[in-house]
């Protein structure tokens, strides 16, 4: 046992002594959480709008007044048609509303800069509603789970899904491969330590590090970002631990395939990072993708983890709703662990 | 003399790149993957909104509302639930995103001059999808009502609004993403690769061999950067050709303006990469630092989310993010066909960043620690 402890101590020192990496590892999730929580919003909440109006009547004045007071608009003034075209082309405004009062009836045209389709679609709906005034909306609209429509609710699970793969998979694979590359692995292999003790000794410090990061993320999420606290936090924690173990297993598997640290980094970056960013549903919803890509996305562990986290953290659903996700994650963990151990002991 | 040293060093770098097992593959595969796959995936369009309808009215009007929703572009009625509880279950299970409840006696109350309201509940976990889905549903209901009222002889006053979608009339999100994706190509080729290359020389110790020669700082840094500038330009050209061949998207504005922006931005990224490399000792360190910063670059540059949606302090912060200007130029050139003269501030900002980063790259290179 004392040998094992010594191994863990060696690995821990290894991790901790690289101050800058440890700093960056804690810095990335915190910055990401804060950016997503406070700076980035996929919701369109500020449409810059200009008005071109040929003749002023009470009606047009009333509409302009509504633009001015509505917090969803940044009213940039009344301009001439030529200037409106120029500003639209320069990208200084999102939409121009042409108003013409013709013998009592009001005609209006909305010209939106559709180069950004998300903004254009939202702007069109907002503008139509505001111009039409009170006569519209036969519906009472209410949003469940996220009444303030914070984007953070959608992103926190995504960030967690990415960070753990990044730290566990990348760092373990690089550390094991580094040992191979430097030749120090041979020293360990000829020592009386069993191979699996070497591996577990490698994994434990990263596991502890990941748990610390999980604690930081949850703490920030539940305090600063104001995710609602509930009993399901226990489920959040143990599903996350399962995911961390899965990530460690992936790192182990990668380390048995590649020979140099550089290729370990490349593999982690290309095979893990990009697909996670793109296919896991972190930013872009999975059900918008073409079908073959949706199938592809189901081999990405982060997709299942993120989906489970959304249900547990934001919707507070009981455990039975995430059974599929947990089962898939557990299955992946077992398969990858078996593969990695088989590959590892052969050598 | 200097020219000859530079030429020799360049030759060494070119051979190094060619013989590396990974780099030529990356140079070839990256633009193809980025330009072909990401546009398929990277769409924020709200297209498939599943609606669960709780119809307590069972009238002709309520059935009309349901058919109209099902016929709408982005909406589909995925569940007809007898009670609200069942609708909630389908929403919690992720089968549907919006619940529309039509109250009892809806048609009767409407005809007797009351203005009854339908109830719409949206799943707000994904804020964009929730709000847009709810608004689409409300619009569809409003349209049905308008038709119904005009059929029964009580037309609602309807404002006369026409909509014109400029620059991207089909509202295709891909047209918005593709120009900006070139930024990803340049960040990886001109930012990541030279950094890794330089740090690898440090780690394997071959940089010592250079340090003992009379090669100047500037010459050495230039010899590291020039190959990646060339590769960057080639990759950008491939990216542009793929965009044109596959998606039929080509710059509406001037092509020289396109290349000018690409060159300026590759100067920015490579200068930045070398600066990071000079400051780090191991590949792991440089990768993590680069990763953190590139993450911030991508998220804050307006690549995926609109900058005007950010709070004011964050919007000021984006002025310090070089990709912001590059993305603005690309989108303006591709979609709006803006002449270069109107984009001068963006070009000037890029040039400023290029000078700053390249200078700090050259100054931070030390032959001795």
Q: What is the pLDDT of residues A122-171, one digit of tens each?
A: 888 888 878 876 555 666 777 677 666 666 777 788 888 888 887 788 88
Of the candidates A35, A146, A171, the beta carbon closest to that of B125 is on A146
Of the candidates B38, B48, B156, the beta carbon closest to that of A288 is on B48
Answer yes or no: is pLDDT of B160 > 90: no
Chain B partners within 8 Å of A23 (Cβ): none
pLDDT in tens, A174-188: 888 888 877 777 777
Chain A partners within 8 Å of B296 (Cβ): 31, 35
In this prediction, residue A134 carries a pLDDT of 57
- Are the beta carbons of A125 and B332 separated by less than 8 Å? no
List A residues 77-106 in contact with B (Cβ-Cβ < 8 A): 86, 88-91, 94, 105-106
Residue of B nearest to A311 (CA): B92
Task: Give the closest-approach CA distance of B123 to chain A in angstroms.
Answer: 5
In this prediction, residue B350 carries a pLDDT of 92
In this prediction, residue B157 carries a pLDDT of 60
Of the candidates B42, B124, B304, the beta carbon closest to that of A147 is on B124
For B199-205, which contacts have Cβ atoms below 8 Å and span 24 or more sequence positions? B199/B277, B199/B280, B199/B281, B199/B282, B199/B283, B199/B285, B199/B286, B200/A262, B200/B283, B202/B277, B202/B281, B203/B281, B203/B282, B203/B283
In this prediction, residue B349 carries a pLDDT of 93
The contacts of residue A110 (CB under 8 Å, 6+ apart) are: A95, A96, A97, A98, A123, A124, A127, A128, A131, B161, B162, B163, B164
Mean of per-residue pLDDT scores for chain A: 81
Confidence of residue B348 (pLDDT cuts 50, 70, 90): very high
pTM of the model: 0.79
In this prediction, residue A255 carries a pLDDT of 84
In this prediction, residue A93 carries a pLDDT of 86
Confidence of residue A332 (pLDDT cuts 50, 70, 90): very high
- Interface pTM, i.e. ipTM: 0.75
Chain B partners within 8 Å of A111 (Cβ): 164, 166
Confidence of residue A331 (pLDDT cuts 50, 70, 90): very high
Confidence of residue B347 (pLDDT cuts 50, 70, 90): very high
State the Cα angle at B141 between B137 and B147, rounded to 5°: 145
| Cα–Cα distance for residue pair B199/B211, rounded to 1 Å | 14
CA distances from A188 to A169, A174, A183, A198, B170 (A): 22, 17, 9, 8, 63
- Are the beta carbons of B162 and A42 separated by less than 8 Å? no
Mean of per-residue pLDDT scores for chain B: 83
Total beta-carbon pairs less than 8 A apart between chain A and chain B: 286
pLDDT in tens, A7-58: 888 888 887 887 877 887 888 888 888 887 777 776 777 888 888 887 778 8
Query: Facing residues of A74 across strands?
Result: A48
pLDDT in tens, B193-203: 888 888 888 88
Lowest model confidence (mean pLDDT) among A195-209, B95-109, B163-177: B163-177
In A28-137, at which residue ranges do the beta strands (DSSP E only) sit?
47-53, 73-78, 95-102, 105-113
Confidence of residue A204 (pLDDT cuts 50, 70, 90): confident
Say how many residues make up chain B. 369
Cβ-contact B30, B188 below 8 angstroms: yes
Query: Facing residues of A144 across strands?
Result: B123
Best mutation target among B162, B200, B287, B324 (most A Cβ atoms within 10 Å) is: B287
Confidence of residue B65 (pLDDT cuts 50, 70, 90): confident
In this prediction, residue B155 carries a pLDDT of 62
Comparison of pLDDT for B54 and B295, the residue scoring more? B54
**Per the structure block, which two tokens stand in for B222?**
């230039």
Chain B partners within 8 Å of A95 (Cβ): none
Most confident by average pLDDT, A276-285, B107-116, B142-151, B352-361:
B352-361
Chain A partners within 8 Å of B287 (Cβ): 265, 269
Cβ-contact A95, A111 below 8 angstroms: yes
Answer yes or no: is pLDDT of A313 > 80: yes
Confidence of residue B367 (pLDDT cuts 50, 70, 90): low
Lowest model confidence (mean pLDDT) among A210-224, A312-326, B145-159: B145-159
Average pLDDT on B10-19 reads 84
- Are the beta carbons of B128 and A43 separated by less than 8 Å? yes
Comparison of pLDDT for B263 and B305, the residue scoring more? B263
Residue of A nearest to B130 (CA): A143
């Amino acid at each position: 046992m004392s040998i094992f402890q010594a191994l863990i101590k060696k690995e821990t020192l290894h991790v901790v002594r690289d101050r800058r990496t440890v700093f960056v590892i804690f810095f990335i999730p915190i910055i990401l959480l804060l950016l997503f929580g406070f700076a980035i919003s996929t919701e369109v909440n500020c449409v810059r709008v200009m008005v071109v109006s040929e003749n002023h009547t009470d009606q047009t004045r009333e509409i302009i007044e509504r633009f001015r007071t509505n917090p969803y608009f940044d009213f940039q003034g009344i301009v001439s048609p030529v200037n409106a075209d120029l500003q639209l082309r320069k990208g200084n405004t999102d939409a121009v509303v042409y108003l013409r009062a013709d013998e009592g009836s009001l005609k209006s045209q909305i010209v939106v800069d559709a180069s950004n389709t998300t903004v254009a679609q939202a702007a069109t709906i907002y503008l139509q509603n505001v111009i039409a005034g009170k006569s519209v909306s036969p519906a009472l609209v209410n949003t469940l789970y996220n009444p303030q429509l914070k984007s953070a609710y959608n992103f926190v699970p995504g960030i967690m899904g990415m960070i753990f793969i990044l730290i566990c998979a990348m760092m373990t694979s690089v550390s094991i491969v580094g040992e191979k590359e430097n030749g120090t692995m041979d020293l360990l292999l000829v020592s009386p330590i069993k191979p699996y003790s070497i591996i577990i000794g490698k994994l434990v410090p990263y596991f502890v590090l990941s748990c610390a990061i999980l604690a930081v993320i949850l703490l920030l999420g539940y305090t600063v970002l104001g995710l609602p606290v509930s009993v399901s936090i226990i489920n959040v924690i143990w599903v996350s631990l399962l995911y961390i173990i899965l990530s460690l297993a992936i790192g182990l598997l990668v380390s048995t395939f590649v020979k140099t640290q550089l290729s370990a980094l490349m593999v982690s970056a290309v095979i893990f990072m990009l697909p996670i960013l793109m296919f896991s549903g972190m930013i872009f919803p999975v059900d918008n993708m073409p079908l073959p890509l949706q199938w592809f996305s189901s081999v990405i562990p982060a997709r299942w983890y993120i989906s489970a986290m959304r249900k547990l953290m934001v919707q507070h659903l009981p455990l039975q709703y995430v059974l599929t996700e947990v089962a898939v994650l557990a299955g992946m963990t077992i398969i990858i662990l078996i593969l990695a151990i088989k590959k590892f002991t052969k050598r | 003399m200097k020219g000859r040293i530079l030429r020799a060093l360049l030759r060494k770098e070119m051979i190094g790149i060619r013989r590396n097992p990974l780099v030529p593959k990356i140079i070839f595969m990256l633009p193809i993957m980025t330009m072909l796959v990401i546009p398929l995936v990277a769409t924020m369009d709200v297209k498939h909104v599943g609606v669960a309808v709780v119809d307590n009215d069972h009238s002709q009007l309520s059935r009309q509302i349901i058919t109209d929703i099902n016929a709408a572009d982005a909406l589909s009625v995925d569940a007809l639930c007898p009670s609200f509880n069942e609708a909630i279950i389908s929403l919690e299970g992720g089968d549907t995103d919006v619940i529309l409840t039509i109250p009892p006696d809806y048609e009767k109350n409407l005809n007797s001059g009351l203005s009854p309201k339908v109830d719409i509940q949206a799943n707000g976990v994904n804020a964009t999808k929730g709000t847009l889905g709810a608004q689409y549903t409300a619009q569809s209901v409003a349209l049905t009502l308008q038709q119904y009222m005009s059929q029964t002889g009580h037309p609602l006053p309807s404002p006369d609004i026409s909509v014109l979608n400029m620059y991207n009339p089909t509202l295709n999100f891909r047209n918005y993403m593709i120009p900006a994706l070139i930024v990803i190509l340049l960040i990886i080729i001109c930012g990541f690769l030279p950094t890794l290359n330089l740090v690898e020389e440090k780690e394997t110790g071959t940089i010592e061999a250079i340090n003992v020669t009379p090669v100047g700082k500037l010459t050495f840094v230039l010899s590291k950067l020039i190959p990646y500038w060339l590769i960057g330009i080639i990759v950008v050209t491939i990216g542009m050709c793929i965009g044109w061949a596959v998606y039929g998207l080509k710059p509406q504005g001037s092509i020289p303006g396109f290349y000018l922006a690409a060159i300026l931005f590759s100067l920015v990224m490579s200068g930045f990469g070398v600066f990071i490399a000079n400051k780090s000792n191991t590949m792991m360190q440089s990768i993590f630092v680069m990763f953190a910063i590139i993450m911030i670059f991508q998220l804050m540059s307006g690549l995926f989310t609109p900058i005007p949606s950010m709070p004011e302090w964050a919007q000021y912060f984006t002025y310090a993010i070089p990709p912001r200007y590059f993305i603005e130029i690309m989108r303006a050139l591709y979609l709006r066909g803006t002449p270069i003269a109107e984009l001068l501030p963006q070009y000037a900002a890029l040039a400023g960043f290029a000078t700053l980063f390249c200078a700090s790259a050259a100054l931070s290179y030390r032959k001795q620690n």
